Amino acid sequence: MKKHPDYANSLNSLASLYKAMGNYTTADTLYLEAMNIRKEVLGEKHPLYANSLFYLASLYQAMSENEKAEFYYIKNLKILLTNIKQNFSFLSEKEKENFIKTLSGNFNSFSIFAFKRYKENPMIAQNLFDITIATKGLLLSSSNQIRDEINNSG
C-alpha cells in the first residue's frame, strides 16, 4: 500500500541511504514522495510531515541549493513551533525539556545553516532570531505559569 505512513518511512530511509551515497537526485525523488504521502495521509501539521521537510532541507543544503534548503527549514520549524505551543500545556517541566531536546537537532541544523547563509541572505538572521526567541520564550512562559499556579494555590 503506497499511501501509508510506513511506506513513507521506508522511502525516507531509502532516500537517506541514497543521500549518504551521494546520489542526490534519487534521494530528492524519494524524499519528495515520502513528503507528499505524509502530507496527504497525515496532514501538514503532523510531526512526520515536518520531518520530511527537514530531510529535504538538509538534502538541498548538501546540494548547495540554499534557497530551497532555507524554504524547507523555515517551513519545518514553523510546524514544530506550532506543535510545541499546542502540546506544552499538557506536559510537565521535565517532559517539556525532553520535548525541546528531541527537536534540538532541527534547531541546531538551521542555526548552522543560517550562519553559513547569512552573507547570501542577511534576512535569515531575523528568522533565526525569531525561532530562538520563540523556543526560549515558550520554556520561560511555561515555567512562570507553573510557578504562578503553585504560588496561588495556597
| Domains present along the chain, CATH in parentheses | 5-153 (1.25.40.10)
Q: What is the pLDDT of residues 75-114, one digit of tens each?
A: 998 898 888 778 777 777 788 778 777 777 777 777 777 7
∠ CA 103-47-63 to the nearest 5 degrees? 70
pTM of the predicted protein model: 0.78
Residues 116-126: tens digit of each pLDDT: 777 777 677 76
Average pLDDT, rounded, for the chain? 83
